[in-house]
Amino acid sequence: MTAVDATALSAEELQAKAWDGFVEGDWQKDIDVRDFIQKNYTPYTGDESFLANATEKTKHLWKYLDDNYLAVERKQRVYDVDTHTPADIDAFPAGYIESPEVDNVIVGLQTDVPCKRAMMPNGGWRMVEQAIKEAGKEPDPEIKKIFTRYRKTHNDGVFGVYTKDIKVARHNKILTGLPDAYGRGRIIGDYRRVALYGVNALIKFKQRDKDSVPYRNDFTETEIEHWIRFREEHDEQIKALKKLIVLGNEYGLDLSRPAQTAKEAVQWTYMGYLASVKSQDGAAMSFGRNSAFFDCYFERDLKAGLIDETDAQEIIDNIVMKLRIVRFLRTKDYDNIFSGDPYWATWSDAGFADDGRPMVTKTSFRLLNTLTLEHLGPGPEPNITIFWDPKLPEGYKKFCAKISIDTSAIQYESDKEIRNHWGDDAAIACCVSPMRVGKQMQFFAARVNSAKALLYAINGGRDEMTGMQVIDKGVIDPIKPEADGTLDYEKVKANYEKALEWLSETYVKALNIIHYMHDKYAYESIEMALHDKEVYRTLGCGMSGLSIAADSLSACKYAKVYPIYNKDAKNEPGHEYEYVEGADDDLVVGYKTVGDFPIYGNDDDRADDIAKWVVSTVMGQVKRLPVYRGAVPTQSILTITSNVEYGKNTGSFPSRHKKGTPYAPGANPENGMDSHGMLPSMFSVGKIDYNDALDGISLTNTITPDGLGRDEEERINNLVGILDAGNGHGLYHANINVLRKETMEDAVEHPEKYPHLTVRVSGYAVNFVKLTKEQQLDVISRTFHQGAVTD
């Protein structure tokens, strides 16, 4: 292929030139990016020796960003906020790092200045105003007038419909973090379509889709509503695609046509993604599965002599650089739940194709190479996610392990589970949520405090922190102790099921309201424009506190658990702090547990089976309920950094977990309780049935460098072995940190020494120094394994 003058060719000629040299297939007849990739990608089974160093331009741009923007953020949290311009795809003029003459590899900023945050008031004005003020600015009174008087928001719609029981549950923190005041996210547009087909072709396809369902006079009332909504949503999608062309024009890019070169393929794909983060502030705005797609173009251009390896690496370095400076306007309360300014530009990679070929390409290596100090160094974004399988090429597995050891910036997910359930063109939204790219979306549902529900079960629906009757009296009776003063396991378990039944009903009702209103007032038009006409929807529910619930039930079954009542707490040594002023005397506020009991996280079936039961029961309660737009209920076991907030708002447990202290993250065993090593911890979590948690099961593990091996080679080989073993025992997800506790303790006291220290928390990576002090101490309190298996 040779470079062409795009202005001198017709649309048909431009398409032919763009596709010249690629293997033909169904992808040319209709939108089918997967077919294009499978027919054109080149698996790579070698090692990293082919990789190129960073260019001087890359080094200069990254240093310029760090000196002038990132350094400012480290001092004052927010670099800048635009208070006058409601965000949209084409709301801002072109912006560059330093200048267009220097920043000319992959172009495009979210606003007109790096790290400047835009306001997105369609989600809710109150949150926007609060975030602006917390950043030290004042909102534009005219914009406030529009969004409080004339334009209803998602947040307005939700709280106008919420029922009393939902509001009480939110107030008492058994429902928390719901996307009722911020963008829901977890929708991955197939941004590759912009590059492969060009926007003009996408508009034609969408117009075809819009007109594909004729009106019928025998429609029911429900069918009439669905038909109107279908046409309106497609109309919004077409408008968004037209704005995408305008965005490209602002940067001198003709996105109306297909990409002609590898550089354009990456640039066009990024512009599709940029349009989404310019118009939506979803909690997770993931990038998709792009390496094999990009590599098709790189391989073609390398063979044609249009680029060399240095050019290819520079392109990947520069798109990663752009992904690292996306910012959203968030409140400090939001930061307490999703700490460290994440937005989950998750970039999924590797795994296998359905035909058995590895989907590792040279671009898979180029992506990991961006994390080395020679290039951009470690960083939280994009959230690099490797679809792991023990049969992946050995050179790639070792390079992944090396980068993990050096940076703690990679997460691993089970390719087998993802491919078996979602196919070989799936990607992760957020942390652990898989979906078919362009064919599936999720209604993000945050998570319930499922451990707190166990305390409600014991207290007859009363909250142990406030004493408030949250579940209507009579739905669940308080558990009376046995003659010896202990709690009976079977009675606790039966009441727990009742509490989960109530919780699931309240939860799903809230979610149905939330997603109806989000579709109505904050619809993701550009992301959905890059989906098929018919979309498979899931309701991505979640649970927190798994290990606490499992260990507490284990304590009730295998030890003796004595409840401590509010009337006695003041005089019970060690339990004085659990007393609740003004609450009922018979409110259980603490527990005295006598004897040992099996602990989840040590490969002990007695405890692990209880954890499996909890997960299955929560999922079963949700599955029985009707869901908005026919979405299929799934769930994740994932907490982000909200495990600190959950703990802060929850009382003591039979497991000896103390009131107000952080939960373990995700599906992790309790902090410090997985005492038999890294592998037994993995094996316990791997026993949880993925079919009960199709939205993902998160495990965050930390091992010390010395615990991993004596030298680099031994550490790399051992980490590969650990990942293979965990994967082989059913483990769905592994965050891998290779860190010394002393390093993190020093970073708490001297953050200026560790500006880029990256740590994986629950499903994502974060700059450690951006965490709150409370969250930093939580991370340090987690288990630091001293080996794969310990006595």
Q: Which two tokens stand for residue 740?
A: 């010394």
Report which of 269, 283, 281 is spatially closest to residue 319, judged by C-alpha positions.
Answer: 269
* Cα 519 from Cα 536, distance rounded (Å): 15
Task: With residue 536 as reference, give the H or E element that holds it.
Answer: strand 536-544
Task: With residue 367 as reference, give the H or E element that holds it.
Answer: helix 362-369
- Integer Rg of the chain from CA: 26
Active site residue 400: no
CB 125 within 8 A of CB 157: no
* Cα 613 from Cα 16, distance rounded (Å): 56
CA distances from 344 to 11, 206, 285, 326, 417 (A): 36, 28, 6, 10, 21
Query: Count of residues for the chain?
Result: 791
DSSP 333-361: HHHHHSTTS-----EEEE-B-TTS-B---
Out of 115, 296, 400, 431, the active site residue is 431
Please provide residue 632's backbone torsions phi and psi, each rounded to the nearest 5 degrees. Answer: -90, 120
DSSP 595-649: S----TTSS-HHHHHHHHHHHHHHHHHHHTS--GGGPEEEEEE--TTTHHHHHHT
CA distances from 173 to 465, 544, 651 (A): 10, 12, 11
* Cα 424 from Cα 752, distance rounded (Å): 43
* Cα 491 from Cα 488, distance rounded (Å): 5
Within 642-790, strands assigned E span: 696-697, 700-703, 733-738, 758-760, 765-767, 784-785
Active site residue 431: yes
Query: Cis (ω within 30 of 0) for the bond into 139?
Result: no
Furthest-apart CA atoms within the chain: distance in Å: 91
Within 545-604, strands assigned E span: 560-565, 588-594
Tally of CB atoms within 10 A around 736: 25
Alpha helices in 386-488 (DSSP H): 394-407, 415-422, 450-458
Out of 115, 296, 430, 556, the active site residue is 430
* Cα 438 from Cα 194, distance rounded (Å): 12
* Cα 695 from Cα 763, distance rounded (Å): 12
CB 622 within 8 A of CB 679: no
For the annotated catalytic residues, the residue numbers are: 430-431
